Structure formats: structure tokens, C-alpha cells
A and B are shown apart, each in its own frame.
Chain A
Amino acid sequence: MNFRSFSYTIMEAFRGLIKNRLMSAASIITLSSCLFMVSISFCLAVNLDYLLIQMESMMSITVYLEDGMSTEEVNDLIGRVNQIPFVTQLEFISSGEALERFKVDLEDSAHILDGLDKDNPLPNSLVLDIDSLSHWDYVENNLNELKEYGVETIQHGRQAANALMTVNNLLRVVGALVIAGLGVISVVIIFNTIRIAVNTRKTEINIMKYVGATDAFIRGPFIVEGMIIGIFGAVIPLAGAYALYNPVKDFLINSLPVIDFLFHNQSYVFSLLTPLLFAVGVLIGIVGSTISIRRYLNV
């Protein structure tokens, strides 16, 4: 395509959009709504993922050991725990150390523990980091089999993590369904818009065919029309989501009683979301217009 055909194509596309401004606006609004949902789901999903990763790194299994184990017995147990796959870190905390840490945690009130130094009630413990939440069950089962080697109780915060993982998966499924539904609606609306645009220019297309215009030349303006709808349909929700991101993030940080979880920052999220939304918008625009013009080309 040479420059003349190119400028012709672009100009015709804008003329078409303006001529059918009502339908064009309807298409852009529908697509924008769809892509706004995509944006929200995306922001939620990346931050939930991030949250999970943070929880994974934050959460560990604490294994309390039986009282009165000898150093050899403790070393033997540590060796066995170390054999368990997926354990990335293992820390032994003696009962003395545990008491010291407890004091540090209590800060000003540490004096209430003053009398305990001689008769320390805290057990020895092992703190395990596991590479991923999905391996918790496996590791826990293995730990349970080590009861005879000195494992007393196993403590963890897995339920919370599991709940979050379930919520995350559910959000993904619901999000995907909503997005797919809206995507189909968008394609249909754009299909109709372009079909009306094509229909009002039926005579023109007919004449073009008789004079020997190529299919690509005839199709060009309509495809570009679809692409422009796609671009507007992506810019609007992007701008909206961008403007909302930080306020919502701040609101959540301030109102949720969660301990210091980090959210992705705005620029990172939108460096991923922007190309995604443009790609999806333009693709939907192209698909819609391609389908609608196809049958008019058979003259």
C-alpha cells in the first residue's frame, strides 16, 4: 500500500466514524465498559498474586520439639527435616533463644518474663520455609511421620493462605467469564457498527468493485474504523483505571486490617496493562469489522 492509499484509508475511516457517530459512540462505550472490567480484574489479579507471594514468603511452619531431647537427637531430627523436599530454609531456635525473642517482641513489658529465665517454659523449635503454598500439605505429612524423632506439635497459618488462594482462583474464573461475555458483546456491537457503515456505503463499494479496487483497498477504511474504535475503547478504561488505582490502593491499605502487605505500584501495573488493553481493543475492532465487511466484497 502506497502513501496515497494509506492517507485515503485513514481519512475514509474517520469520515465513516463521524458519519455514524451514534453507533461509533455506542461501540466505544461498550468496548470501554468491557475493557474497564478487564482492567479491574487485571489490577485485582496481579495484586492478589503479589499478596500470595508475600504470604508465602512470610509464612513458615513452626515445629515444636519434645522436651528433654539431647543434642544428638535434635541434630538427627534436623537432618531428617532437611531431607524433606521443598523445604527451602530451616532454622533451629532453642528454648533460650525463643525466650529472648519473646522479650524483644514484648518491648517495654518484657519484665513480666523476668522470673522465667531459670524455668523456661518455651520449647525448642524448628522454623521451616517452604518454596510454595502448594507444597504445604506434602511437607506437613512428612513432618507428621517424624513424631517418633521428637516432633511434638506443628503450627502454621495455612488456612488463611488456602482461603486466599481459593478467592484468587474464583476471581479468575468469574473474571474470565465476565470478560469473555463482554468481549463477545463488544465484537457484536462493533460488527453492527461497521455493518451499518458498510451498508451506507454499499453503492460506493459496488462502484469501487466495478472500477477495479482491490479487496484490501475497499476493506482498509472499515478495518481502520474498527481499530480506531478499539483504540478509543482501550484509552478510556485505561485512563479511568489509572486515575482510580492509587486512591483505591490507599483506601485498601488504610482500611484493611492486614499487616503491612505491599501492593504493586501504579506504573508497574500499567506498564503491563496498557499494551494488553490496546492489543485486545484493536484485535476486537479488527475482528468485528472484518466479519461485517466480508459478504459485501462478493460482487
Chain B
Amino acid sequence: MIVAENLTKIYENGAKGIDHLSLRIEDGEFVFVVGSSGSGKTTLVKLLLREVTPTEGKLIVNGDDLSALTRGQMPFYRRRMGVVFQDFRLLTNKTIYENVAFAMQIVGASNRDIRRSVPSVLALVGLQRKAKAYPDQLSGGEQQRTALARAIVNKPPLLLADEPTGNLDPDTAWDIVTLLEDINDRGTTVVVATHAKDIVDQMKKRVITLRNGNLVRDIEKGGYRDEF
């Protein structure tokens, strides 16, 4: 569950990333966050990741009040969320298998758990046959699926995606969104920041629209509509 109250992020240069935003996202929801470029989508994701700290207001994620989170608690906070970005962010010197296993290694998983979980997650995203390949041997869609596998391999209750289809052609984009829906069906809360209009329109999920860091529209089973 995510609760934001008067959440505000003003950058050091004075730019308003998020401006007095209040919203609530329940466990198990699938939510699109839309808005034109510069509307604050990425800032919201960064706030949720605790990559930036709020200037003002309250943010509670998975029961943790982010303002009370210490530096030492941050890694453990982040272990309860997966994240994918537009640019995949894979390790180019590691195989697909190793990229996913890496996420388990660094949280101290046993080799036995790693050997069991990684193949099943790769199967879930349809990459079991590419386990030994390196990222630059894969298409963009396959790379993003690798990133998704890495994001969910530790079974986080929350998945964040910032423009996950931004670098992909429409067909591949749909594969990814379908995967996100699969993941959501398994109980994970999914928050997708995007400006892919047709995808949002067809998915009929909850859509939160931002403008200038502010919530301007929040509808169930909505579509994408730019408001100017």
C-alpha cells in the first residue's frame, strides 16, 4: 500500500518535481501514472525508491513511513520493491542468468535458492532459452524482460516501472505490459509511469494523471487523456 499526503519534492535548483500530491494505492492494484514530459512521473518513482527525499509531506510505502527511514534501513526497504527503467540497466559483462542471480546474491540468498528461483523466473518472462546469452546479444524487449525477471526474483510486494516500454517497438511493448499484468495477477502491486497512450487506453486500469507535479485526474479503468 502506498499513501502520499501533500507529498512535495522541490529540487535544489528550485524545479518542482512533485507538488502537494496526495494519493492512495492499495495492495494488489495495477496503476498507470501518466502525464506529459516533465509532469513529475519519474520524480514520483524516485520518491518511492527513496532515491530522493521529500521536501514536504508524507509518504508511506508497505507500512514504512519514509521520513522515519534511516540510512541503514534503506536496503531492506528497497528489497520489498522491484524496479525497471526505460534503459534496462543490465550488467553487460554478466549473462542473463547471472544478471538475475545477481539480485539474489546481493541480498544473501543461498546458491540452492538461486538455482531454484532464477530458472523459474526466466521461464515466467519467456527467457529460459537465453539464460547463457549476454545482454547485447538480446533484443530490447528481451533485455527489458531480463530486467523484469531481476526485479521480481526476490518476490517483492511492489513493482515500479518508469517508462518500461519507452525504448521498445509497439509489439514488444505489449509483451512487456502483458507480463506486467501477469505479475500483477500473481498479487504484486504494480505502478507504471508511462506516456504510451494506446497501451493505457486499452488496458483499462486505474490511471493517475500528473501535471506540474500535481494530481489532475484519477480514474478507475480509465484511458489516457492529455489535459491542457
A interface residues with partner B (beta carbon < 8 Å): 2, 4-5, 8, 203-204, 206-215, 217, 299
Contacts and interface: CB of A to CB of B under 8 A. Distances in A.
Contacts of B102: 207, 211
Interface stretch (B74-82, B137-145, B208-216): B74-82
9 contacts: A5-B108, A204-B91, A211-B150, A211-B154, A212-B77, A214-B72, A215-B75, A217-B75, A299-B51
A216 B83 CA distance: 22
B78 A210 contact: yes
Contacts of B68: none
A8 B102 CA distance: 11
B108 A211 contact: no
Contacts of A207: 89, 91, 102
B78 A212 contact: yes
Contacts of B109: 4
B107 interface: yes
B79 A212 contact: yes
Contacts of B51: 299
A210 B91 CA distance: 13
Q: How large is the interface on B (under 10, 10 to 19, 20 to 34, 35 or more residues)?
A: 20 to 34
Interface string B45-70: 00001010000000000000000000
Give the interface centre of A4, A203, A212, A217 by most chain B CB atoms within 10 Å: A212
Contacts of B13: none
A170 to B, nearest CB: 49
Contacts of B111: 4
Interface of B: 49, 51, 71-72, 75-79, 83, 89, 91, 102-103, 105-111, 150, 154
A112 B128 CA distance: 108
Give the interface centre of A4, A207, A211, A217 by most chain B CB atoms within 10 Å: A211
A299 to B, nearest CB: 7
Nearest to B156: A212
Nearest to A207: B89
B78 A209 contact: yes
A217 B106 contact: yes
Contacts of A299: 51
Nearest to A214: B75
Contacts of A214: 72, 75
Contacts of B78: 209-212
Contacts of A217: 75, 106, 108
A203 B103 contact: no
Contact of A211 (B71, B72, B107, B110): B107
Given A209-B78, A211-B154, A299-B51, A2 B106 contact: no
Contacts of A215: 71, 75
A188 to B, nearest CB: 28
Contacts of B108: 2, 4-5, 217
Nearest to B153: A211
A208 B99 CA distance: 11
A211 B104 CA distance: 9
A213 B71 CA distance: 12
A4 B110 contact: yes
Contact of B75 (A4, A5, A204, A212): A212
A219 to B, nearest CB: 12
B76 A212 contact: yes
Nearest to A19: B93
Nearest to A213: B106
A206 B79 CA distance: 14
B89 A206 contact: yes
